[in-house]
Structure 1
Amino acid sequence: MNKNIIRFFTICMLAGLVAGLPAQTTRRGTTFQLSVTANVRANVLVQSRDNRSFSPIKGTTNLNVALPAGTYTIEISAPGYPAQSRVVVMDRNRAENFTFQTQRRSAGAQLNITSNVNGARVDISGPRSISGTAPFRMELPQGSYTVSVSAPGYSSQTQTVNLQRNENLHFNLQQPLATIQVIIPNESLNRTINNAMSQISIYDNGILMNSTVFTIQPGQHTIQVRSGGFATQSTIIAEAGRTYTIRPILSLIIE
């Protein structure tokens, strides 16, 4: 009889100890499924926040991996987008979706550039810098641009444009002018006349010039010096940027 009583009390004590233990919500060794997706292909890094012995998991979307219960950090990145991270508690299967926002493109407008010199070099500086040749056409972000056009044998030109809508720019490149300088030697002037130079006229291709120094377009020119009943002339092929000095000489040849 005493033995039965002892057994009864022993069983009750063991039952009380078991009842006093905390309830376990997750069985040891249980794993849960983590799914990581994104709207673009991205790199994924999963790290444990409470288990130092856990080896980080690397992969790409779409990633599916089994993880022990615990807290984890998910880091995800894609070229051209800001990186994202998220903390998750793995106490059940989880599906984590990341959305990368495409950066909004700034509004643009079309810039058309033409020139009287086909193939002239075009240099554009501004929110976007680029080079090309005329005729040039491209859509560029809105903003202020400096456009330079140049070609061998021509003076370069520059224009500034505030590109807010489609714009057309035309560059009329000019060849550098040649300079003509006519010098009348003093010994050739009639000293008996006051202001003898006023009696001398200079013509370029038949057009009267108002000065002894003037500019002309590159190319063929006939320069003529007239005074009373005398005239002398010469034809030259003027080159861009050059200065030509002409000295008419009046002399006597005695035979």
Structure 2
Amino acid sequence: MGKSQNRASFDPDAVETRRVWLGAYVMAVNASMALRRPLLCRWHPYMDECIEILQTSPDAEPSDRNLIHWAKLTHIAEEIAFQFSMDDPSSNLTLNDTKVQYALKGFEKQMDEWRREVRTEEYTPILQHSECIISIFMHEIAMHTEHNIDDFRTPFNSDFKTDVKFDRATAAQIDALTTCLTSIHTCLDCILSIESEIVVNLPTHLYARSAYAFIALLKLFSAVSSDNGLERVFSLADLKVEEYFDRIINHLKVS
């Protein structure tokens, strides 16, 4: 009896249902990204319907625009994870592969298109932080050694593989690493720009994402510090590792 009533009250086309579905999708993909596990929830036409309804329904809330931005950004992340085999350590993908370079350029274009859809007042530090995390996720393949995705998987550790050589670093590698470093710094700047009373109340996954940015920065630091050729591309001063560690720690202490 109770089950029948619940089933009757459930409307798959309701705005609330579409909103919950998109929210669940965003959470599922982000968990998969962090753990480097296969995606359990893939984008399909129902997602497009959800976005269309939230864009046109008179029952939609103003905040639904933000949810749509999050969902579209997450969709790009899903495609990156699938294209670059981010859940498969046995893959042998590298940025030396022309197909990978083309795919990376395609994702960069998608990110630019996504950014143009976001209004200035909607581009909050939290949304920009997520954009930067996706950018790091996209470009980290330039730091992979034997597709060592576990170096970037939670829980993090300092046992990095640093035997990758950059004696003949290609323009694609240098561009990707430069973009990755810029995204890392911008990501951390976003956290620093948030008022201390708000930072302390941020969801835990945002701290985990910030830790991922630090891991990527330490990965670069390890590579630049080693005799593998990358020191000819970056200097340790460019990375600003100690500066960001100190600033983030002090910011959180104040909180």
Tell me the TM-score normalised to structure 2 length. Answer: 0.15
Q: Relative to total residues, which structure has the larger helix share, 1 or 2? A: 2
Q: Considering Cα pairs closer than 8 Å and 6+ residues apart, tell me whether 1 or 2 has the greater RCO.
A: 2
Tell me the TM-score normalised to structure 1 length. Answer: 0.15
Q: Relative to total residues, which structure has the larger strand share, 1 or 2? A: 1
